[in-house]
Structure 1
Amino acid sequence: MSSTTSGRSTGSPGPTFDPYDNTPELIPLRTAALAGDWPAVRAFVSGLDSVAKVSTASSVLAEIPGVETMLERAAAELPGDPLPRTLLAERYVHIGWDIRSGARAQHVSQDQFEQFHSWLRRAEQLLIEVCAEQPAYAPAWTVRLTTARGLQLGQAEARRRYDRLAAHHPHHYRAQTQLLQQVCPKWGGSWEAAHGFARECATAAPDGSVPATAVALAHIEHWLDLAGADGTAYMRGVPVRDDLRFAAQVSVLHPAYRPDWDSVGAHSAFAFAFSIGGHHADAAPHFAFLGDRATEFPWQYTGDPKASFLTFRKLATQA
């Protein structure tokens, strides 16, 4: 299945940002979680064939309201199993981040910060235990990158955690996206560090794999920080365009690439980055793959994700 022909029809109003529409293989996980059926949840996750899929499952499970009740019970009943503690920790992180909100620090109240940090510390304690017992357990280290950022443990500690994970799983895309956020200026990093890490992900990964998408994510974050005319000029620049073209060609447009659970997010990132730079012909193959699918990130950065997607998709098809 090629990356330019596997999208859904663009005849409907679209797009859907629902992860279960975009990855229907996850529906049984949601069904089991809503039923409070821990054995079914564990069977689903245990049956996944990659660390990347386990991390995706953990992420979507963390968004289900009330799932912590089932996970707390499972963690208590299975104290030696890393899975329920890791899933519970990610759920705690999600609860905390919902309280904090996605606003910049100056717009978050002291009470929000206190609750946010309380939930993250609960998650961190669980994850410390898991990582001590299972040093190669990537799902736990991945969540610890988020807790490191939220608890403001600093660049060195975040990189230490990523390096511990990468020693066993060197191209774990979700972990890379978490560290990329950390090394951006908004979390104490720099643009030199952000773009440098993105290039590191792209050049180290095998051709036809998704990590080069980090290049697009870094440019999107830089655009967001610049804002307005400066941001537009930045994305329209030839160096950025060429950087994006290279990253797309070695990842989701490479002949060796095989679509997976990260594909909708990766193509969304490239479609968005090319579109806001006015490179509509370059965006076209990514929209062709997506059809009526997309991930909220990064489209929410426009303020009206659906309208922006439809507008840019139309421009791409006319390019």
Structure 2
Amino acid sequence: MSSTISGRSTGSGGPTFDPYDNTPELIPLRTAAQAGHWPAVRAFIAGLDSVEKVCSASSLLADIAGAENFLERAVTELPGDPLPRTLLAHRYVYIGWDIRSGARAQHVSRDQFDQFHAWLRRAEQILIEVCAEQPAYAPAWTVRLMTARGLQLGQAEARRRYDRLSAHHPHHYHAQTQLLQQICPKWGGSWDAAHGFARECATAAPDGSNAGALVALAHIEHWLDLESTERGAYMRGLPVRDDLRFAAQVSVLHPSYRPNWNSIGAHSAFAFAFSLGGHFADAAPHFAFLGDRASEFPWDYMGDPKASFLKFRKSAMEA
């Protein structure tokens, strides 16, 4: 038995967090990458109609084990092409981050840090060359925001890199989410900076963009950083609720909004944030869009993402 919210199936099996299930048009990219078939990967990316999609594809490729093998060959064969070099650097960043793990710094060993930094330095050397040759190449600058954070190059350097990118590609959502992480306190920033940047992105972007989701992500990060006894009160607070409502209305709930590859992540952020505060009527339209789909982030902040999604969605349906 399944039910529907606004016509989208919500079966009892729960959500899928698999990006290829949620966006089936990406499956040929995975197939080509797993086969180590560079021409097919290049043709897929060449057929994409936006820089945001290229960055999405790059992130997915970076998460495929062994992809560095065919990408290294592609770099050797096409030394002047920014695409294989950027994809390879992105893969190196993921290898390094997998070694580091997502734990807070005090729980990461010296050896893990050494390996992590070694992989990021390899990526950074590649990206420095790409950005010098192609100053407007957004995929490379986006990955350089990740290396800046991991190598602890500081707030000013991260912001410099973002500014270089946004001069050519304003409102670039992938880059905005990376810089938001950088300016949270866990990476040396502050909550004033994080919330200020998120609101700045939401208000500066054209109506109907994904940028408003940054407001939700900033509040989620703030919630996570609080003591467990303070978390509920923070998300229930009316200032947070109103902040989220404004951000949702100018972004994913705006009449001009058109779904894209970042939509599941953006709606997931709002559904998650509203639900944490018990604002289930506000969460409902986001769950309506999602149906049985969700992004791993931020749901992986919960001990049981699937159970949390189902619990929150049920409350939203009944609100």
Would you identify which runs of 4 or more consecutive aligned residues in structure 1 move more than 2 Å? Answer: 4-8
CA distance in structure 2 between the aligned counterparts of 1:19 and 1:25, rounded to whole angstroms: 10
Q: Is the 8 A contact 1:280 1:315 kept in 2?
A: yes
CA shift digits 1:143-175 (9 cap, x unpaired): 000000000000000000000000000110010
Residue 227 of structure 1 and its aligned partner are, at CA, apart by 3.5
Code of the residue aligned with 2:236 in structure 1: it is: R
Q: Is the 8 A contact 2:32 2:38 kept in 1?
A: yes
Match of 2:258, SS state, is coil
Match of 1:79, SS state, is coil
CA distance in structure 2 between the aligned counterparts of 1:59 and 1:303, rounded to whole angstroms: 24
Residue 6 of structure 1 and its aligned partner are, at CA, apart by 7.6
CA distance in structure 2 between the aligned counterparts of 1:248 and 1:7, rounded to whole angstroms: 21
Corresponding residue of 2:102: 102
Count of residues paired in the alignment: 316
TM-score when normalising by structure 1? 0.98
CA shift digits 1:126-154 (9 cap, x unpaired): 00000000000000000000000000000
Q: Is the 8 A contact 1:7 1:292 kept in 2?
A: no
Residue 8 of structure 1 and its aligned partner are, at CA, apart by 3.9
Corresponding residue of 2:130: 130
Code of the residue aligned with 2:143 in structure 1: it is: V
Question: How large is the RMSD of aligned CA atoms in angstroms?
Answer: 1.1
Corresponding residue of 1:160: 160
Corresponding residue of 1:242: 242
Q: Is the 8 A contact 1:7 1:289 kept in 2?
A: no
Corresponding residue of 1:169: 169
Unaligned runs of at least 5 residues, structure 1: none
CA distance in structure 1 between the aligned counterparts of 2:64 and 2:263, rounded to whole angstroms: 22
Q: Which moved more, 1:33-42 or 1:148-157?
A: 33-42
CA distance in structure 2 between the aligned counterparts of 1:57 and 1:227, rounded to whole angstroms: 36
Corresponding residue of 2:277: 277
Q: Is the 8 A contact 2:32 2:41 kept in 1?
A: yes
Code of the residue aligned with 1:128 in structure 2: it is: I
Is 1:201 the equivalent of 2:201?
Answer: yes
Code of the residue aligned with 2:283 in structure 1: it is: A
CA distance in structure 2 between the aligned counterparts of 1:166 and 1:176, rounded to whole angstroms: 9
Corresponding residue of 2:226: 226
Code of the residue aligned with 2:12 in structure 1: it is: S
Match of 2:10, SS state, is coil
Code of the residue aligned with 1:155 in structure 2: it is: Q
CA distance in structure 2 between the aligned counterparts of 1:198 and 1:7, rounded to whole angstroms: 32
Residue 11 of structure 1 and its aligned partner are, at CA, apart by 2.0
CA shift digits 1:58-99 (9 cap, x unpaired): 000111110100000000110000000000000000000000
CA distance in structure 2 between the aligned counterparts of 1:268 and 1:227, rounded to whole angstroms: 23
Cα gap change, 1:109/1:268 in structure 2, threshold over 3 Å: closer, same or farther?
same
Corresponding residue of 2:63: 63
Match of 1:64, SS state, is coil
Match of 1:301, SS state, is coil
CA distance in structure 2 between the aligned counterparts of 1:243 and 1:227, rounded to whole angstroms: 22
Match of 1:303, SS state, is coil
CA distance in structure 1 between the aligned counterparts of 2:308 and 2:178, rounded to whole angstroms: 25
Code of the residue aligned with 1:287 in structure 2: it is: F
CA shift digits 1:177-229 (9 cap, x unpaired): 00000000000000000001001100110000111110000000000001412
CA distance in structure 1 between the aligned counterparts of 2:176 and 2:6, rounded to whole angstroms: 26
Match of 2:13, SS state, is coil
CA shift digits 1:215-266 (9 cap, x unpaired): 0000000000014121110100000000000000000000000000000000
Code of the residue aligned with 2:135 in structure 1: it is: P
Residue 113 of structure 1 and its aligned partner are, at CA, apart by 0.1
Is 1:45 the equivalent of 2:45?
Answer: yes
Structure scoring higher RCO (CA < 8 A, sep ≥ 6) equals 1
Match of 1:152, SS state, is coil
CA shift digits 1:111-134 (9 cap, x unpaired): 000000000000000000000000
Q: Give identity over the alignment, percent.
A: 83
Q: Is the 8 A contact 1:7 1:290 kept in 2?
A: no
Match of 1:17, SS state, is coil
Match of 1:36, SS state, is coil
